[in-house]
Amino acid sequence: MNRFLTIFLSVLILGTFRAPAQERITKYFPSARPERIVLNITESPATSIAVTWRTDTTVSETTARISPNLPTIFLADSARTVKGKWQDISADGVTARFHSVIFSGLTPGAAYAYSVGSGANASEWFTFKAAEAVTSPFTFLWLGDSQGPVSLYSRVIRQAYRTTPDASFMIFTGDLVDGGSSTMLHDDEWGEWYRAAGFIASEVPVVATPGNHEFYDPQARQKRDLNKYWRPGFTLPANGPAGLEETTYSFDYQGVRFIILSSDDMIRNEEIASSTTKWVEGLLKNNPCRWTVMAFHHPFFSTSARRDNKAVRENLKPLVDKYGVDLVLNGHDHTYARGTAMPEGMVRKGKAAGTVYVVSVSGPKQYQQDANPWWDLGYTNTQLWQAININGNTLTYRAYDASGAVADQFVLTKMKDGSNRIDTPSAVKNK
């Protein structure tokens, strides 16, 4: 064979079969100034809160300051300094230093200001309120999959904040980003997620659990490690089953029990499905709260004929039925659907609510609904966000579209026997 032809073919073959995986270089490079500053819920939200942020590796100390949110310009004089820890993550063409501090010893219900970093690189003062230590009305936000390009998602989280600036926290039910694995971390997608949230995530505590896309790895589908940016980027509770720290956890907030769990782990691993189920049962069995909300990525009932999250449904639905969980919030299906389901063997009558299940989506990636409809109301090609208020025996739920109009709403009333009645006033324009 012609020598040049041999060389040409060799280069072509090597190029085709031995090309090293291309590292995806981020567009978001850190500096000495703190960024990606996120408040995180803790398991004791009346007395503590966590904050995470990112810098470059020239910053060798993790410090933050916290003060009562006084009107004085001499705020720093009344602040105490709290030290935390950092870790470096190298990927996507960048090494970033992720910092984490937990503020403890807070006064329930008090307003605080905090700043992260020090000296010339200290952040501005952000403000928040600690939870009350007793049952008390509050509103929280919930957002489904934002996943991927945020050009259309940003307006949704900003609209949510504009409409509900006093929200106690924001739940994210997974697929915050589209890609993320041990080999392809996709820092640029995280950069966009943080950019969309901006200072909102620095003042409204984040409650997040991963979806399947925070584990996604096209090179190693069975392995599927949690995206390396998750634990450094958040400081979430570690009170779930062993190995599921910061992805499966619970907290009680002003009389409501929240159970947050990583359903993708349950689907991929039977042992995890069983330890998670046992853990959930413990939380439901010994539950001092009048209301219980569960949030995770994969719904019991899909809106797609091709999707069925059997491991999640078969393990958890009997517990949801037995203990009468009030509300189950899910993502994954990239549509909106809200319905109720009675416990097995019981027929829905009149205004009996059973458990209310909602699937929602906040980003522009949208699918069609083609399953046997279990829902009372559904949307496709619509980005949504939700605000849920709990006040005594009343839970008021509203879903809003990206324009800020009410797209769905219902009211649950807790009856003396612990069951719920549902009222669904027709959707109204709120503006």
Beta carbon of residue 219, minimum distance to Fe ion (angstroms, whole number): 19
- Using CB under 5 A, pick the residue from 211, 233, 241, 364 that binds Fe ion: 211
Q: Does 132 bind Fe ion (CB under 5 A)?
A: no
Rounded Cα–Cα distance for residues 413 and 408 (Å): 17
Q: Mark the segment that binds Fe ion (CB under 5 A) among 16-24, 88-96, 207-215, 369-377.
A: 207-215
Instruction: Map the footprint of Fe ion across residues 171-200, applying CB under 5 A.
Output: 175
Rounded Cα–Cα distance for residues 144 and 259 (Å): 16
Rounded Cα–Cα distance for residues 168 and 174 (Å): 19
Beta carbon of residue 178, minimum distance to Fe ion (angstroms, whole number): 8
- Using CB under 5 A, pick the residue from 97, 317, 332, 398 that binds Fe ion: 332
**Residues binding Fe ion: what is the number (CB under 5 A)?**
6
Beta carbon of residue 146, minimum distance to Fe ion (angstroms, whole number): 9
- Strands (DSSP E) contained in 104-261 are 111-116, 126-129, 138-143, 170-172, 206-208, 249-253, 256-261
Nearer to Fe ion, 212 or 409 (CB): 212
Nearer to Fe ion, 155 or 365 (CB): 365
Instruction: Map the footprint of Fe ion across residues 140-169, applying CB under 5 A.
Output: 145, 147
Q: Mark the segment that binds Fe ion (CB under 5 A) among 17-25, 65-73, 332-340, 418-426.
A: 332-340
Nearer to Fe ion, 257 or 334 (CB): 334
- Using CB under 5 A, pick the residue from 42, 55, 164, 212 that binds Fe ion: 212
Binding-site string for Fe ion from residue 32 to residue 71, where x marks contact by CB under 5 A and - marks none = ----------------------------------------
The residue behind tokens 């505590």 is 205
Beta carbon of residue 150, minimum distance to Fe ion (angstroms, whole number): 14
Tokens matching residue 184: 């392809």
| Helix 187-197 vs helix 154-163: crossing angle, to nearest 10 | 30
H or E element, residue 310: helix 310-323
Q: Does 335 bind Fe ion (CB under 5 A)?
A: no
Nearer to Fe ion, 28 or 172 (CB): 172
Tokens matching residue 135: 């049952």
Nearer to Fe ion, 30 or 180 (CB): 180
Rounded Cα–Cα distance for residues 263 and 26 (Å): 29
How many residues does this entry show for the chain?
A: 431
Give me the residues paired with residue 140 across strands. 388
Which residues, at least 6 apart from 164, have a Cβ–Cβ distance to it below 8 Å? 139, 141, 387
Beta carbon of residue 144, minimum distance to Fe ion (angstroms, whole number): 8
Tokens matching residue 209: 């659990």
* Amino acid, res. 136: S
Nearer to Fe ion, 52 or 212 (CB): 212
Beta carbon of residue 364, minimum distance to Fe ion (angstroms, whole number): 12
Q: Does 303 bind Fe ion (CB under 5 A)?
A: no
Nearer to Fe ion, 168 or 360 (CB): 360
Rounded Cα–Cα distance for residues 32 and 346 (Å): 59
The three-state DSSP-derived secondary structure of 53-74 is EEECCCCCCCEEEEEECCCCCC
Q: Mark the segment that binds Fe ion (CB under 5 A) among 96-104, 182-190, 324-332, 342-350.
A: 324-332
The residue behind tokens 């000495």 is 32
Tokens matching residue 318: 């009997």
How buried is 208 (Cβ within 10 angstroms: 0-12 exposed, 13-18 middle, 19+ buried)?
buried
Tokens matching residue 301: 């009932």
Nearer to Fe ion, 55 or 173 (CB): 173
Nearer to Fe ion, 209 or 409 (CB): 209
Beta carbon of residue 353, minimum distance to Fe ion (angstroms, whole number): 27
**Do the beta carbons of residue 279 and residue 303 sit within 8 Å?**
no
Q: Does 398 bind Fe ion (CB under 5 A)?
A: no
Rounded Cα–Cα distance for residues 52 and 50 (Å): 7
H or E element, residue 266: helix 263-268
Q: Mark the segment that binds Fe ion (CB under 5 A) among 20-28, 204-212, 277-285, 305-313.
A: 204-212
Closest-CB residue for Fe ion?
175
Nearer to Fe ion, 54 or 332 (CB): 332
Beta carbon of residue 175, minimum distance to Fe ion (angstroms, whole number): 3
Measured from the Cβ of residue 243, the count of other Cβ atoms closer than 10 Å reads: 14
Nearer to Fe ion, 212 or 355 (CB): 212
Binding site for Fe ion (CB under 5 A): 145, 147, 175, 211-212, 332
